[in-house]
Amino acid sequence: MTDRPLLLLDVDGPLNPFRSRLAGLRGYTSHRMHPTIWMSYRSPGSRKARRGLRVRLHPSHGARLRALPFELAWATTWMHEANTLIAPRIGLPGDLPVIEWPELFARDPDGLSWKTRPLLEWAAGRPFAWVDDMINPRDRAWVEAHHPAPALLLRIHPRHGLRARDFAALDAWAAGVSPAGR
């Protein structure tokens, strides 16, 4: 364990701007993948299942994420497949820690993202930044009220993905909460 804060990464939205029509013009490359969770919603042998999911990834994101003063971990429905399918294509190590969700897409009685409660439990009181496209104001309020350490919840629009200003915000936030970031 280090004194660096955690950076909890979602794939779809932050790394894969799935709603973007211009991702290719911004340096993203397109890949066809067959992640287990996505395949579980497709009929075996269907055209969509054979073609796979189109995933747009920026090859420089791995180096930019590694340059940040964080300990990286996956907070995505891709779970361990993020290490095998996403990490090698953007230059991240293939052995990052993974949050294993107790139940995918579980409905929260307080209107939180289904990830929020398990994510806080996994963080175990450590400072963290969470980048995701599904963060809402209730998540922010709940984390502030229930997490004893600093936390940054950075909502990334799925049309844009991570941008230079997001990397700058993460770097600045880490510098303010961690001796390793100073």
Cβ neighbors of 50 (< 8 A, separation 6 or more) are none
Residue 146 lies in a domain: yes
Residue 46 lies in a domain: no
For residue 84, pLDDT beyond 60: yes
Residue 72 lies in a domain: yes
The residue ranges of DSSP E strands in the chain, in sequence order, are 6-9, 29-33, 53-57, 71-74, 128-132, 151-155
Which is it for strands 128-132 and 6-9: parallel, antiparallel or unpaired?
parallel
Residue 126 lies in a domain: yes
For 94-119, what is the mean pLDDT? 94
Residue 168 lies in a domain: yes
Give yes or no for a contact between 104 and 37, defined as CB atoms under 8 angstroms apart. yes
- pLDDT band at residue 30 using 50, 70 and 90 as cut-offs: very high
Residue 35 lies in a domain: no
- pLDDT band at residue 48 using 50, 70 and 90 as cut-offs: confident
Q: The CATH number of the domain where 142 resides is what? A: 3.40.50
For residue 171, pLDDT beyond 90: yes
**pTM for the complete prediction?**
0.92
- pLDDT band at residue 40 using 50, 70 and 90 as cut-offs: confident
Residue 89 lies in a domain: yes
Q: What is the pLDDT of residue 179?
A: 62
Integer-rounded Cα radius of gyration of the chain: 16
Residue 50 lies in a domain: no
Say how many domains are in the chain.
Answer: 1
Domain that holds residue 115: 6-18+59-177
